Structure 1
Amino acid sequence: MNSVPLSDINISQAHHLALLFSDVAAGPGLQRSIEAFANQYDTYLLTDAEQIMPELLRGNFDVLFLDIDGEGLDVDKLLPLVRQQFSLPELPILLLSSPLSEVKRNAALDKGATDFITKPLTANDVVLKTRNALAFRHCFKNHRAARDLLEQQVRIRTAKLNMLIDSGLMMSREKSRDRLLAHILREGQKLLHCDGGTIFLVTQNKSLRFAIRTRDDVLPFEEIELYDPVSGKINDRYASTYAANHNKTVIINNVYDEQRFDCSGTQAFDIKTGYRTVSLLTVPMAPRNGQVIGILQFINALAPETGAVIPFPDDVVELVEALAAQSAVALDNLQLIEGQKATTESIIRVLASAIDTKSPHTGHHCVRVPELAMMLAEAACKQTQGPLAHFNFESEDQWLEFRVGAWLHDCGKVTTPEYVIEKATKLDMLFNRIHEIRMRFEVLLRDANIRRLETLLEGGNDLEADQKFDREKAELIRDFAFIADCNMGRESMHPSDCERIRTIGEKTWLRYFDDTLGLSQQDTMRLQADDKPALPVTEQLLSDKPKHIVPRPPNKVPDPALGIKMNIPENMFNYGEIYNLSIQKGTLTAEERYKINEHIIETINLLEKIPFPDFLQRVPEYATTHHETLDGRGYPRKLTEKDLSIPARIMAVADIFEAITASDRPYKKPYKLSESLKILSNMKNNRHIDPDVFELFLTSGVYKEFAVKYLLPEQIDDVDIYEFIGPSP
């Protein structure tokens, strides 16, 4: 009877769509009865049972009527097929039939029928049973809609909670303060679905400083005072300062209607930019101790469906408060770590400066070497080709590790006796013993003059006495001048010079005073039993005595576990006068040179005692390898090329260049720039320093930059760097 396609049927909200199956004979009558008794139905009649499932799948029917008395319908087969696609609440199935036995009714209900209407149809029966079926369906649809809505809300909430969890994990791993702040702001904006945000940080001056915001313009420089600068009272004028002072969240639904806080700054921003701020959320960030360290401020929450500006929803505000708490802990931890790193690095710098201050004659070596090493490392990291292209410090921690190692490279010098470091002449101890020896010459000269005068008193020849005295005086003056010259530490001593020292030393003088009086306990312990002969006693002009020897204590031998491969002198010190004056080159004895070189062993000992965290594990390597050489002849461990990293090789070049160009060393004049580079070039050729690092030192201009800053003007001469670049001969 109704022949229009289902898709063309226009059903109002007051009507329901029903599908009726019956045979050709009974169908039209049943259709009229259903529409007459239940006039809110539009009924579509099918007379072909094969079309029932296709029509159900195409249409959106509210109820299915099946006339099971007609031919061509296998209800036992059809009902399970329908229920596979539509649940009982989704599609009520009402069977139209003559009176059935209870067994058949139950069988049909068991297979998925909803109810029965007995023929002939009555208005009461049709209305009541269809209403009940549809009421059940309506309840089901409402329940399903509510369930779907709840599931959607749970999914959204779960997603946001997962976002919080992921955010917390990310923040716990983040080591960059700027990236952490950007992440906090980005995640807050996602959670709130808002238009923008800003982070303020509390400063040490008790003010709020702009740290970051979603706009990409320049951050304002002005700070917001948390306290009135005149009265000292809490400044609760603004939402941001109130949140910071009281650790409470502030929600403003409309900044133009706000009466509690001053929003004139926001309104002025709107006028300036053409933006329209409506809703504003301010959330404090407070770590475990409850002290607010920053503020999260977000503007204009957006409705997910329309994008319209709305007030910030309470449930989402709770999540952002949780994010703020996470952020506060992460930021506080990062600030604590950064503070600890800064404090540690400052202490290390103070130590290095103290070593330089303790020994002014080392100049500012402990301070300048790290600076030069950093300059060279930065140049190495910029290389994109060549042998150093692979080298890079990829994180700030790696830079910190290198800086700390550079600052600690001479920390062992704190144990080196000052007079050894500053020993400018061979006879230097705590004072220059040349004065003591000169006094002996004075004594000999006085004795010669006394002998002359005694000769004259005895009636001797005046001329002969004067001539003899003049000869002795001239010889003493020549000998002392020679000894004084030897004391200066010339480039080399000829064997004949050493022999002359011994010959001069054999001259004698008469000592009348006890030289064991007024000695320190340490000096007294070195005296031998026969060191107190009867006075007066004849002394040599120069001597090497047992008391000049300071034995090496057993605890001053390096621990074998350290792998030290240095030649260790038998004695700690040898103050013998002839021994010191006969030093072949420079002013240091073998014992003193070892004592100075021992600073690197002491550096190892000191650093071995420090439990460095993982990100500083290579500090000992960087601090203790700058005296090693590529050929394995360095010290203290005689490491070879394969053992030395690029940072270690950089440290070696920086240490040597600063040392040879320093203008405040007591034992040498500073080299000119060209001379210094020539020395480094020779060291490169002898495989003492790395050729690639040395070439970078030249081609990058680091050598010139450092020279301009620290060398004397007269040291900086013209240099052709290409004279030193190229393979070693």
Structure 2
Amino acid sequence: MSFFVDGSNDPARSSTRFGRDALTLMNIVEARLVADARIEDRTVVRPHPLLVTVRSDRLFAVLAPGAIWDRAREVLRPFAHKLASGEAMLVLVGSPAIGDVAGALNRGLGALVSPDPSADELYVAIHNVCELLESKARAEARGKWLNRYRYELGELIEIAKAITTERELDKLLSLILEKSRFITGADAGSIYVVEGDDPDPLRRTLRFKLSQNDSVPFDAREFTLPVSPRSMSGYVALHKRPLNIADVYDLPAVSPYGFDRSFDAKIGYRTKSMLCMPLLSRKGEVIGVIQLINKKRAADRKLRSDEDIEDQVVPFDARSEELVGTLGSQAGIALENAVLYTEIHHMLEGFVRASVEAIEQRDPTTSGHSRRVALLTVGLARALERDAAGPYRGVTWTKDDLRELEYASLLHDFGKIGVREQVLVKAKKLYPHELAIIRHRIEIASRSYEVEILERKLRLVQRGARAEELAALDQELSARKAELEAAYAAICAANEPSVLKGGDFARIEAIARETFTDFSGDVVPLLLAEEVACLSVARGSLTPAEIEEIRNHVVHTYQFLSQIPWGKQFRRVAVIAGSHHERLNGTGYPHRLRAEEIPLQSKMMSVSDIFDALTASDRPYKKAVPVDRALDILGFEVKDGHVDADLVRVFIEAKVWSVLEQPGAPPSALSALSPR
């Protein structure tokens, strides 16, 4: 449609206002432009009787009489947007009468020519205008490219920060795929990880780890496929170069790889454009493959139908391939680091498990104790986070904090490796061989007394004693044997350890004062001094010397764990494990630390350690104490200044011990914290 000054389509009415000279002038301009062979590659158009345009691609010049600027600028209104955006410039034939050239320059004026321009003058004006337009277009394109480059660079830097700080493999893979899709506008994608270390890549496998899709939700499970050129991901893994396919349904017949459409059919999706990029390690080895699917014109559009696919999906361009290649380099190294971190983590967990196994084989009487203490201590730590009333409100733990606490708890008794096995497994106050010696000694005493009675009988018979006298000796012997058996029974009773202080030690001391004459004629006590010391142990089964030996296991634990390079994450494992027998009042061991000097984690472990030692059913030297009784004993420990009252309160209120009673509870805190 033509646009005239008065809004009509009638050239005659327009000419009435401007006169025949303006129309004639523009007729001459148009004729000279059409006849000029130098601009034959450009398109000359007469959109209005008073306007002539010369177009080159999307850029063009608009020629008009100078009088238009004075009296009818609205004629140029259809071109206002193009003039403002730099896609067009104005050439006035003749100067405006009012001389407002500066205003015209601000509104897109590119050149002024004489009222009767020659073909050369018109050519030069149009040539200069087009050059100026192209220069502006190039400058704007460079500006847009620079802005886009800055934006992409900023995004790549942020992505690099994100993927290099993520250590968990599954989260890292999800992040890599998400960011790759973001910078390319891909609707969907998936990631494969190379498994196996065989020198022949064809003997390795690709594990499908995860998939993302903005348009179609579905459950994707892990599976493996061989590294083979028959699949696109396998081809990329083998040849270490990307694949960029416009339509996977339209592959050449000679293509070495194919596309399985059954998955699309199963989930109701249409895969079209695809970009496969290898993820390379520092050594240039392929450790994974990323597949990006269906690059979209508009990132927020969903691909619900074939029409959406045709309208929205475009091939991945060279810039997308370049961006994913850059990201892939960073992602490959990050993935390599994550795999290495995971391997180190598994190796560390394997070491901890093996160490716990070694402890339990060394001391099978406490089998499961380390795992239970770890579960209880981690459970108490989590309960402490939820406590809003006590002095520990606001305490929080990171995942690494909990894992450090878990490792310390699992290894808190590792120093028992350095304690004599007979002390570790001592179930009674006397060792079995010591009790056997006492039994043998009492039998000798009984035989010795029996010999003495027989000798006395013989003398009585030789004197002609009456039968009553002989019977009295028999009664005396029976009574003495009964006394010895009663003494042995008392010894056996005293040999049983107790949880709390107590015992009939006066009876033991009385037995120790009894003597007999052995077969050599020596006077021997029924109990030796060291045996009396063992049987007089007030609580438990260990003598003070044995207790000191056992206590030294904490020192061994600290010394052993201090030699392990735990790293910054778990640097306090040795200190936490080595302080779990310290007491708030400074009477603990090995360093007699006071409350403020004991790590909070060690205080928590002390509560768990005492509770499990009381309630465990696998201790041969005592019976398991009911939970209520164990909690009462913990209360006594609080009153004695041994353990923290608030920690015991939280332990009781949260019923932390219930973690051991849950069906299917993990055998250790490692199972609860470790990524699967």
TM over 0.5: yes
Letter in 2 for 1:62: G
Cα pair 1:251 1:281 within 8 Å, conserved: yes
C-alpha change, 1:501 and 1:286, in structure 2 (3 Å) is farther
- Which has the higher mean CA deviation after the structures are superposed, 341-350 or 12-21? 12-21
1:703 — aligned with what?
657
2:621 — aligned with what?
667
> TM-score, normalized by length of structure 2?
0.74
Deviation at 1:413, TM superposition (A): 1.5
Aligned-partner Cα distance in 1 for 2:168–2:235: 29
Deviation at 1:262, TM superposition (A): 6.3
Deviation at 1:151, TM superposition (A): 4.5
2:236 — aligned with what?
243
1:108 — aligned with what?
none
Deviations 1:146-171 (A, max 9, x none): 34434533443454344334322322
Q: Does 1:444 align with 2:445?
A: yes
Q: Does 1:54 align with 2:103?
A: yes
C-alpha change, 1:55 and 1:41, in structure 2 (3 Å) is closer
C-alpha change, 1:472 and 1:341, in structure 2 (3 Å) is same
Aligned-partner Cα distance in 2 for 1:400–1:192: 38
Cα pair 2:554 2:590 within 8 Å, conserved: yes
1:683 — aligned with what?
637
C-alpha change, 1:414 and 1:538, in structure 2 (3 Å) is same
Deviation at 1:183, TM superposition (A): 2.2
Match of 1:310 among 298, 310, 314: 314
Letter in 1 for 2:446: L
Q: Does 1:330 align with 2:334?
A: yes
Q: Does 1:543 align with 2:528?
A: yes
Letter in 1 for 2:376: L
1:483 — aligned with what?
491
2:77 — aligned with what?
none
3-state SS in 2 of match to 1:62 = strand
Deviations 1:620-639 (A, max 9, x none): 34323332334443333333
Deviations 1:22-67 (A, max 9, x none): xx9xxxxxxxxxxxxxxx9642433445x33233323x222246xx
3-state SS in 2 of match to 1:346 = helix
> TM-score, normalized by length of structure 1?
0.69
1:381 — aligned with what?
385
C-alpha change, 1:370 and 1:698, in structure 2 (3 Å) is same
Aligned-partner Cα distance in 2 for 1:703–1:279: 56
3-state SS in 2 of match to 1:56 = helix
C-alpha change, 1:122 and 1:442, in structure 2 (3 Å) is closer
Aligned-partner Cα distance in 1 for 2:169–2:574: 27
Instruction: Note the residue ranges of structure 2 that are not aligned, 5 or more in a row.
Output: 1-16, 23-47, 56-60, 71-89, 197-203, 302-310, 666-676
Deviation at 1:707, TM superposition (A): 4.6
Aligned-partner Cα distance in 2 for 1:681–1:144: 84
Q: Does 1:604 align with 2:608?
A: no
Aligned-partner Cα distance in 2 for 1:456–1:218: 101
Aligned-partner Cα distance in 1 for 2:413–2:403: 17
C-alpha change, 1:275 and 1:44, in structure 2 (3 Å) is farther
C-alpha change, 1:269 and 1:278, in structure 2 (3 Å) is same
C-alpha change, 1:247 and 1:381, in structure 2 (3 Å) is farther
Aligned-partner Cα distance in 1 for 2:562–2:643: 26
Cα pair 1:16 1:62 within 8 Å, conserved: no
Aligned-partner Cα distance in 2 for 1:337–1:468: 80
3-state SS in 1 of match to 2:208 = strand
2:294 — aligned with what?
300
Aligned-partner Cα distance in 1 for 2:621–2:436: 19
2:436 — aligned with what?
435
C-alpha change, 1:131 and 1:166, in structure 2 (3 Å) is same
1:359-438 equivalences under 5 Å are 359-383=363-387, 388-394=392-398, 396-428=399-431, 431-438=432-439
2:95 — aligned with what?
45
Deviations 1:392-439 (A, max 9, x none): 223x222211211111111112212221122222221xx431111222
1:13 — aligned with what?
54
Cα pair 2:66 2:92 within 8 Å, conserved: no
Deviations 1:588-607 (A, max 9, x none): 21111122222222222222
C-alpha change, 1:46 and 1:218, in structure 2 (3 Å) is closer
Cα pair 1:200 1:210 within 8 Å, conserved: yes
- Which has the higher mean CA deviation after the structures are superposed, 670-679 or 202-211? 202-211
Deviation at 1:384, TM superposition (A): 6.0
2:3 — aligned with what?
none
Q: Percent identity?
A: 28
3-state SS in 2 of match to 1:251 = strand
Aligned-partner Cα distance in 2 for 1:474–1:606: 53
Letter in 2 for 1:56: L
3-state SS in 1 of match to 2:546 = helix
Letter in 2 for 1:414: I
Aligned-partner Cα distance in 2 for 1:444–1:386: 63
Letter in 2 for 1:445: S
3-state SS in 2 of match to 1:616 = coil
- Which has the higher mean CA deviation after the structures are superposed, 312-321 or 456-465? 456-465
Match of 1:497 among 499, 507, 521: 507
Deviation at 1:136, TM superposition (A): 4.4
Letter in 1 for 2:245: I
Cα pair 2:231 2:259 within 8 Å, conserved: no
Cα pair 1:200 1:212 within 8 Å, conserved: no
1:517 — aligned with what?
none
1:584-623 equivalences under 5 Å are 584-623=538-577
Aligned-partner Cα distance in 2 for 1:364–1:270: 50
3-state SS in 2 of match to 1:671 = coil
Cα pair 1:543 1:577 within 8 Å, conserved: yes
Deviation at 1:254, TM superposition (A): 0.9
Cα pair 2:584 2:594 within 8 Å, conserved: yes
Deviations 1:453-488 (A, max 9, x none): 445556365717645544543443344333343333
3-state SS in 2 of match to 1:433 = helix
Cα pair 1:203 1:209 within 8 Å, conserved: no
Deviations 1:179-225 (A, max 9, x none): 32232112212332332222233456824323242447343226242
The size of the alignment, in residue pairs, is 567
3-state SS in 2 of match to 1:46 = coil
